[in-house]
Every structure is written in structure tokens, then in C-alpha cells.
């Protein structure tokens, strides 16, 4: 548990955050300039702040104490490339590892393992100035992880990685943080990334906390309070848990199962039975009374209408419909935005059993696999 | 023998000055590169002063400072039983002040270019500030140090006015090459003046050549990263 109650004034930004972050993977979400990086730097002790910071049973900062960055045992992946230009890749990777060893830290992640997972073996002798953007991102992340951190702070760590690399790095990052239970704070403004990777999320705006909680609760309700002017940040939608059942290389199609119902998305090959989370935008979900045939939309889920809310304030003429997925052991709901006129024409009402149509093209490319 | 003693004295003076300034100028240059203190412009101006002032002005004030009538001069005499004016020790102190900007400015530029980013990254990887500085900034500033040391050494070798004011012309004590040349010309001994002048010219050219050559190497090793 990371307890934060800090203030920091940095130019135009006045950061004031009070929250508790569980030992899990937590997303830090919000429009650019809202103070995500400043918060991360304050937690690391790189940017001065006033107030209290405690991590588990250690006090990092209060009125009398201020533990310096190098004793907080954090791993930090900066937005920009911070490799040491005078050292080669292997020496960069060893930098944090050797200092952890010297301090008697129990080494859980070894250099060969991490190099293997991040596919760094061919790069070990190279100089940082000869690496591509994607390669240097991977080395930056691997170096932070090899420092055996107790808390991992990632400032948009996947920016600059190409699609396939993202798909490689993200699951591995998720695995090690979960397996070794390294609490992680992850700055991102890509909802699919957050849906996939983060258990918990914090939403910030203008230096203040506006929402926090489990991702499955916070992400679907984000659109209710617009964050800045970036429409992609405010997009309404829902999070769906799915299990991979098959992969069809001919169509690059992943076959998924959502509550015993099939769903198909386009994406890279994934091992069977792996669990993934998808973010489905509400505007891409349509409703039909009968299971349609002869339609280019391939994904149809049997659902029951759980709730209907008029969206007078946000989008006049639209209704937000909550669709509960049938045959689901744990309750899962989709949200759809349809016109009030369509609701009346189809006589939609709470409790009705209908079909949710999900535009294949849209969900088939969760943007974790896009640039 | 006179020439050899002058050459040895010059090398000793330049060597000691360079070594002491490496230690003194490093923290000063780091502070100048990173501080936001309101007194920073004043310190910058003070450091650069020897670049623009006639050496005779500095020499004049140093002579006053070294005088046993003065607090500094009298404390020195009491401690060491020797005077600073017209002595090798006085010459070292004068050279330290006179050559300070040649050490500080290349180092400040190097530290400014490196910035705080490597230190921050090192801190998050568990390195204490001193350890982080020694293992990141120091090796990254290698060429800045090389340039600063060579310029300081060469500039100390070439100083004249301040030496004449503070040190005078005592063989084996304060008579450095530039003074020896001056004396040779005064006494119409052009052969010796030619010898020393040509030597100094060759030395200055080759050191500058070294600096520019290494700086070119440095630029190449920092060249643009390959496209991804």
C-alpha cells in the first residue's frame, strides 16, 4: 500500500493528491499536463513536494523525514531515453542490478532471464546511441526491472514501441509485476492498455484526483465527467473479460469466449486459455431483437437489458443501455449508446432479452496492438 | 642551463595549477551549470574576470594582497616563514586565479550539456549522489575535462604580465619561459629568444591540435542514432 498525501507547486501546475494505492498494477490516467509525471516524480523523490508518503511500513516522507530517491528502492522508466551513453547495453542493465547486490538485496530477477524476455541478447554489446527507439525503450524497462525494485513507476513506458513489441513487452511486464508482486504505477492514456494491464486506476485532472478504484468500475464510468477536450479520453465503454480458445493464422483471428459465448477479434497469436480484457466502446455496440444473419458484423452476444438511462445532459436524444451478458458466472455488462428513437421503435425495456452486435472491425483491434 | 630551468619551472607551475584547478573548478562548474541562485550571475562574472582584465591589474592587486602589511600576506608569512611576492608559491596562487576561467568554462559547458537526467536515472537505480556523479557525469564529461585541462595548462604556460608583476625574474624561482624570452630580447640575445619562442609556438599549436582532434572524435561518438 502506497499512501500519498502531498502537495507540490511546479510552474502552472499545482499538484494536490491524497489517496491510497494498493499493491497491484495501477493506472495513472488523465489528459496531458494534468500532473501524472509530476506525481510519479514526487513519489520517486525526484521532484520536491510537501506532505506525507508511506510505502507499506516505510515512511518515505513526512515533516522530518525525506528518504532520498536512491534509498526508496524504486524502479523508474522515464518518458525519455535515460540510458547511460558511455556504457554498453549490458553495462546499463547491470547498473541497478549491481547496486542491489551490493546492498544485500535478494536477487529475484537475473540478467539472463530478463534479457531473454525482452529479447535483448543480440543488443548486449551495443552502445545506446546505436539502438532504435523501440530497442532503447526495452533496455530502459529491463534496466529498471533488474534493479529489483519494490515499487515500479512507469511513465508511458510503451510509447515508441511498435505493435508487435508492445504485445510482447506488455504481457511480460504484467507477468513479472504480478508474479513477483511488484506494485506498479503505470502512466497511460490508452484505455485498451489499461484494460489489459491494470487492476486499479487513478484519474487525474489539473493536478487533482477525480476518480479512483478498480479498473472494471472506473473505466466504464469515465465518460460521465469529461476530461479535457481529447475525445478518446472521454469515450464511454465497458470492460469485458474473455478467454482465448483458438487462433486462426489465416485470418489473424483470435477466437475468444465471453461467458460461454464466442467472440472473434483480430490480433497476434496468443496462447490458449490466456485471459484477456477488452475495452468495448459504447458507440460500437448496437442492439437487435433477433440474432441477425447475413450481416458483416460477426460478433453477437445474447444479453439482457439491465438498465436504461437517458443521456439528456451528455448527448441529447441518446440512451445509455446497460446489457448484462447471459450465461456469465461473474456478472459482466456491456454498455451501448443508442438513440431514444431506436429504443422506442424496438420497444426496448429493462429485462428484455436482446442481442448485442459488436462491430468486428472495431473490437478486433484493441489499440494495444495498434500504434 | 638557464633555458632548461625556465622550461622545468614553467612545466611545474602549469602542472600544479592544472591539478589544483581540476579539484577546485569541478564543484564550482557543477554549481554554475545547475544552480538557479540569484547570486549566480555575480559568480559567473567574477569567474570570467581574468579573461578581460589586463594581467597587470590582477598582478597589481595580488601584490597588494601578498604584502605582509595585509592580513592575507601577514598570515601567510607567519605560517610559512616566507613571503608570497616574488616567490614560486605566489606565482601558483596568481596562476590559479588567472587560469580559473579556462578550467571552469569548458567544465560548465560539459556539465550543462549532460544535465541532471543521468543523475536522476542513476538515483532510481540505487546510486547515492556521489556514486551517481562519479559513474555517470564524470565519464560523460571526459572530453570536457580533457579540453579544460589542456587549455588551462597551455594558458598557464603562456602567461606573462601577471608573472612579471607578482614573480619578477628570479632564476629557478619565478623565471618561466615567457620571462626568459623577454629577458633574452632585452639583452639582445636573439638566438635564445628564437629557441624558446619557436618551442612555445610548437607546443601551443600541438596542444590546440590535440584539443580539436579529440573534440572531433567526441562529436563522432555522439553522432545521430540510427533510424529504427
Q: Which among A96, A134, A153 is the nearest to B125, CB-wise?
A: A96
Helix (H, G, I), strand (E, B) or coil at A262: strand
A82 near B CB under 8 A: yes
With H, G, I as helix, E, B as strand and everything else as coil, classify residue B158.
coil
For the domain bounded by B2-220, which CATH number is listed? 1.10.3720.10
- Considering only alpha carbons, which residue of chain A is nearest residue B141? A86
Question: Quick one: pLDDT at residue A362?
Answer: 42
Comparing alpha-carbon positions, the chain A residue that sits nearest to B126 is A70
Closest chain A residue to B120 measured between Cα atoms? Answer: A46
Cβ-Cβ contacts under 8 Å for A340 (sequence gap 6 or more)? A310, A317, A318, A319
| β-bridge mates for residue A212, sequence order | A202
- Kindly state the cell numbers that stand for A26: 495501477
Q: Sort out which chain A residues have CB atoms less than 8 A from B132's CB and list them.
A: 70
Record: contact A85-B123, CB cut-off 8 A: no
Task: Report the gap between the CA of A323 and the closest CA in chain B (Å).
Answer: 45
pLDDT of residue A294: 79
Q: DSSP 3-state assignment of A63?
A: coil
Confidence of residue B220 (pLDDT cuts 50, 70, 90): very low
Check CB contact of A101 with chain B, cutoff 8 Å: no
**Given this model, what pLDDT does residue A228 score?**
58
pLDDT at B225: 35
β-bridge partners, A277: A241
What would the pLDDT profile of B155-184 be if each residue is shown by its tens digit? 999 888 888 888 888 888 888 888 889 988
- Residue A337 has a pLDDT of 86
pLDDT of amino acid B228: 31
Mean pLDDT value of segment B96-109: 93
The answer to whether the CB atoms of A44 and B124 lie below 8 A apart is yes
Nearest to A46 among B120, B136, B223 (CB): B120
Smallest Cα distance from A300 to chain B, Å: 41
Cβ contacts of A60 within 8 Å, gap of 6 or more:
A45, A53, A54, A66, A67, A72
**So what's the pLDDT on residue A284?**
81
A337 or B15: which leads in pLDDT: B15
Give me the pLDDT at residue A268, please. Answer: 67
Whether the predicted interface score ipTM is above 0.85:
no
Per-residue pLDDT, A234: 63
Backbone angles phi, psi at A252, to 5 degrees: 50, 40
Domains in chain A, ordered, with CATH?
2-226 (3.40.50.300), 238-363 (2.40.50.100)
For residue A53, how many other CB atoms are within 10 A of its CB? 22
In the numeric block, which cell numbers belong to residue A259?
461467458
**Which of A288, A292, A315, A284 is CA-nearest to residue A303?**
A288
Cβ–Cβ of A46/B117 closer than 8 Å?
no
Query: Please, is A106 exposed, middle or buried when counting C-beta atoms within 10 Å of its C-beta (0-12, 13-18, 19+)?
Result: exposed
Which of the two residues, B116 and B2, has the higher pLDDT score? B116
Q: What is the pLDDT of residue A84?
A: 95
A80 touches chain B (CB under 8 A): yes
Mean pLDDT throughout B32-54?
92
* Contact check, Cβ <8 Å, A85/B120: no
Task: Check residue A46 and report its DSSP letter.
Answer: S
The helix/strand/coil state of B145 is helix
**Nearest chain B residue to A151, by CA:** B124
Q: What is A226-246 written as a DSSP string?
A: --SS-HHHH--EEEEEEEEEE
Closest Cα in chain B, distance from residue A109 (Å): 14
Query: What is residue B212's predicted lDDT score, i.e. its pLDDT?
Result: 81
Low-confidence residues of chain A: pLDDT under 70: 163-164, 167-168, 171, 223-234, 268-269, 328, 360-371
pLDDT attached to residue A369: 35
Residue A255 CB partners (closer than 8 Å, separation 6+): A244, A245, A246, A247, A248, A262, A263, A264
pLDDT, residue B76, reads 87
Measured in angstroms, the CA of B225 and the nearest CA of chain A are apart by 5
Please, what's the b/e burial string for B55-75 (b: 16 or more CB within 10 A of its CB; e: otherwise)? Answer: beebbeebbebbeeeeeebee
Q: Collect all residues of chain B within an 8 Å Cβ-Cβ radius of residue A161.
A: none
Count CB pairs under 8 A between chains A and B: 81
**pTM of the predicted model as reported, rounded to 2 decimal places:** 0.76
Asked if the Cβ–Cβ distance from A46 to B136 is below 8 Å, we say no
Amino acid at each position: 500500500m502506497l499512501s500519498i498525501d502531498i502537495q507540490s507547486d511546479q510552474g502552472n501546475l499545482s499538484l494536490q493528491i491524497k489517496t491510497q494505492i494498493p499493491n497491484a498494477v495501477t493506472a495513472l490516467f488523465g489528459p496531458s499536463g494534468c500532473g501524472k509525471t509530476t506525481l510519479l516524480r514526487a513519489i520517486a523523490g525526484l521532484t520536491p513536494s510537501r506532505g506525507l508518503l508511506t510505502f507499506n511500513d516505510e515512511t518515505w516522507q513526512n515533516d522530518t523525514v525525506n528518504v532520498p530517491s536512491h534509498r526508496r528502492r524504486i524502479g523508474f522508466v522515464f518518458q525519455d531515453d535515460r540510458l547511460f551513453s558511455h556504457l554498453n547495453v549490458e553495462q546499463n542493465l547491470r547498473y541497478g542490478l549491481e547496486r542491489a547486490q551490493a546492498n544485500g538485496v535478494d536477487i529475484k530477477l537475473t540478467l539472463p532471464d530478463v534479457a531473454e524476455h525482452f529479447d535483448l541478447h543480440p543488443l548486449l554489446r551495443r552502445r545506446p546511441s546505436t539502438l532504435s527507439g523501440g530497442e532503447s525503450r526495452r533496455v530502459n524497462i529491463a534496466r529498471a526491472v533488474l534493479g529489483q525494485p519494490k515499487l515500479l513507476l512507469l511513465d508511458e513506458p510503451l510509447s515508441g514501441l511498435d505493435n508487435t513489441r508492445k504485445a510482447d513487452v506488455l504481457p511480460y511486464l504484467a507477468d513479472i509485476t504480478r508474479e513477483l508482486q511488484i506494485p506498479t504505477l503505470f502512466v497511460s492514456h490508452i484505455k485498451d492498455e489499461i484494460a489489459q494491464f491494470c487492476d486499479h486506476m487513478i484519474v487525474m485532472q489539473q493536478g487533482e484526483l477525480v476518480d479512483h478504484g478498480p479498473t472494471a468500475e472506473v473505466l466504464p464510468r469515465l465518460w460521465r465527467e469529461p476530461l479535457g477536450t481529447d475525445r478518446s479520453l472521454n469515450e464511454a465503454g465497458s470492460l469485458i473479460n474473455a478467454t482465448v480458445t483458438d487462433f486462426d493464422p489465416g485470418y489473424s483471428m483470435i477466437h475468444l469466449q465471453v461467458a460461454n459465448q464466442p467472440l472473434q477479434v483480430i490480433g497476434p497469436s496468443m496462447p490458449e486459455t490466456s485471459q484477456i480484457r477488452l475495452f468495448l466502446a459504447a458507440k460500437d455496440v448496437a442492439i437487435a431483437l433477433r440474432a441477425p444473419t447475413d450481416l458483416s458484423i460477426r460478433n453477437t452476444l445474447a444479453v439482457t437489458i439491465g438498465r436504461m438511462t437517458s443521456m439528456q445532459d451528455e448527448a441529447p436524444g441518446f440512451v445509455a443501455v446497460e446489457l448484462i451478458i447471459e450465461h456469465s458466472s461473474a456478472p459482466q455488462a456491456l454498455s451501448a449508446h443508442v438513440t431514444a428513437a431506436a429504443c422506442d421503435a424496438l420497444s426496448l425495456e429493462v429485462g428484455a432479452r436482446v442481442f448485442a452486435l459488436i462491430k468486428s472491425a472495431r473490437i478486433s483491434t484493441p489499440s494495444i496492438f495498434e500504434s | 642551463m638557464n633555458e632548461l630551468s625556465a622550461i622545468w619551472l614553467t612545466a611545474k607551475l602549469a602542472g600544479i595549477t592544472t591539478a589544483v584547478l581540476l579539484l577546485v573548478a569541478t564543484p564550482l562548474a557543477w554549481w554554475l551549470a545547475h544552480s538557479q541562485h540569484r547570486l549566480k550571475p555575480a559568480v559567473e562574472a567574477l569567474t570570467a574576470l581574468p579573461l578581460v582584465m589586463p594581467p597587470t591589474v590582477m598582478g597589481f592587486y595580488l601584490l597588494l594582497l601578498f604584502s605582509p602589511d595585509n592580513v592575507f600576506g601577514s598570515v601567510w608569512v607567519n605560517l610559512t616563514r616566507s613571503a608570497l611576492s616574488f616567490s614560486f608559491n605566489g606565482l601558483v596562487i596568481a596562476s590559479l586565479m588567472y587560469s580559473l576561467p579556462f578550467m571552469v568554462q569548458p567544465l560548465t559547458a560539459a556539465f550543462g550539456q549532460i544535465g541532471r537526467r543521468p543523475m536522476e536515472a542513476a538515483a532510481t537505480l540505487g546510486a547515492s549522489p556521489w556514486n551517481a556523479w562519479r559513474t555517470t557525469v564524470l565519464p560523460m564529461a571526459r572530453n570536457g575535462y580533457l579540453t579544460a585541462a589542456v587549455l588551462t595548462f597551455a594558458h598557464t604556460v603562456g602567461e606573462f604580465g601577471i608573472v612579471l608583476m607578482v614573480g619578477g625574474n628570479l632564476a629557478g624561482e619565478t623565471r618561466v619561459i615567457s620571462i626568459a624570452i623577454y629577458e633574452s630580447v632585452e639583452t639582445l640575445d636573439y638566438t635564445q629568444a628564437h629557441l624558446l619562442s619557436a618551442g612555445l609556438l610548437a607546443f601551443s599549436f600541438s596542444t590546440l591540435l590535440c584539443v580539436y582532434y579529440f573534440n572531433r572524435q567526441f562529436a563522432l561518438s555522439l553522432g545521430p542514432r540510427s533510424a529504427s
